[in-house]
Amino acid sequence: MTKPNKNKSGGIIMAHRIVWIDTLKAMTIFLVVIGHTIGLPTPVERLIFSFHMPIFFWLSGLLVKKNIREIPFRAYVKNKARSRLIPYISFSILSYILWFFLFRHFGTQAQLNISPIRTFIGIFYGNGINHWMDHNTVLWFFLCLFVTEILFFFLIKIPSKMGLMVALTLFSIGGYVDTWINRPDGFRLPWNMDIAFSMVVFYGIGYLCQPWLSFDIWKNRLFKWGLGATCLALYTVCSLMNLKVAVVAGVYGNYIFFYTAALSGILFWVILAMQIPANRLISKIGDSTLIIFPLHLLVFPFLTAIIVYGFKIPSSIKEDSILLSLAYAVISILILLPVADGIKKYFPVFIGLPGKDKK
């Protein structure tokens, strides 16, 4: 990650903060990857899914530039389209080709027998449920983040922080009510617009946390450990008392449990990340989340093929093996690290980055 300049008013973007941000991103992407395996116990799934998508929106808001109010809307949309929609299109094309020629002919996909036309339309519809994006479900995130950032561009025009917090509260209520109106098995808005109503809450909270995370009290170990223990307790209890959250489907469960678990979980993992010293591998993983996130589900089928056809082990073993889930996550991330390096070096435009001649 490029070393940023120091800023007196926003300690979050100072150089010494970069380590824990990359660490947090690395831990979170690992939890996302392992959360998409099928061998985890239900309580572990609830702990992961209660916060692992909200924290990505929170992190995006945390890194919003201070001059966002001064950026013209057209320039803002153009920049976000480049960094969100170009990767979405690139990974959608790759995923659809692999799914069409390979994945849909094996395992669960073969049993479902989903129409290639439906999945192709799903690329434009952008909804990650009801088999619209069976080629790569996780790609819904790019579109939802794009819509979320457009929403926030207008919310940030609210002159006071108190007004912004009120607006975010109203969006949290509206987004939650929407999940009861637009059920997963019913009509869903394209590009996950309905999900963005809830995710903009975490995005906005991330933005509001910028100055708060630079306070000197964070240097107090007693404060951090006490707050961390409190957050861990809230995060654990509310996650386990709630049903399994599925943000992509608008399944949040209990309103209080959902927001308490997500926010306390985010803060707990932030505090934990701050305690971990700099590590080259962790930083590398954190800096490669943009590529690991959309590609890890494409690695899973190949790992399963090796198990089934190479070692002659039934694929059903994945359903009850925590160790195999761990292996899938670790191996997938390690495989994708050099892939990420290659894409960033030779094909940067595929992920919305400028080419060498434009840097």
pTM for this one?
Answer: 0.92
* Predicted confidence (pLDDT) per residue in 71-123, tens digit: 999 999 999 999 999 999 999 999 999 999 999 998 888 889 999 999 999 99
pLDDT of amino acid 234: 98
Structure tokens of 126? 């952008």
Assigned token pair, 217: 């009290």
- Beta bridge pairs of residue 251: 246
Residue 5 binned pLDDT confidence (cut-offs 50, 70, 90):
very low
Q: Locate tokens 């996550």: which residue?
A: 329
Task: Answer whether residue 204 shows pLDDT above 90.
Answer: yes
Whether the pLDDT of residue 2 is over 50: the answer is no
List pLDDT tens digits, range 18-28. 789 999 999 99
Is the pLDDT score of 305 beyond 80?
A: yes
Q: Is the pLDDT of residue 279 over 60?
A: yes
CA distance to 70, 121, 171, 334, per residue, from 154 (Å)? 12, 30, 13, 39
CB atoms within 10 A of CB 138: 21
The letter for the amino acid at 100 is F
Yes or no: say if 73 and 153 are a contact pair by the CB < 8 Å rule: yes
User: Residues near 51 by Cβ (< 8 Å), separated by ≥ 6?
Assistant: 235, 239, 261, 262, 265, 266, 269
* Lowest-confidence region among 130-134, 140-144, 256-260, 317-321: 317-321
Residue 228, phi then psi, degrees to nearest 5: -65, -45
Mean pLDDT of 11-32: 77
Residue-averaged pLDDT of the chain: 90
Q: Tell whether the model's pLDDT for residue 16 goes beyond 50.
A: no
The Cα–Cα gap between 311 and 308 comes to 6
**Per-residue pLDDT at 7:** 42
CB 249: neighbour CB atoms within 10 A? 18
Overall average pLDDT of the 300-307 stretch: 92
Whole-number Å distance between alpha carbons of 89 and 349: 11
Q: Which tens digits make up the pLDDT trace of 133-192?
A: 999 999 999 999 999 999 999 999 999 999 999 999 999 999 999 888 877 777 789 999
Q: How far apart are CA 237 and CA 67, in angstroms?
A: 39
Closest C-alpha among 205, 304, 185, 292 to residue 246: 185
> Which pLDDT band, with edges at 50, 70 and 90, does 356 fall under?
low
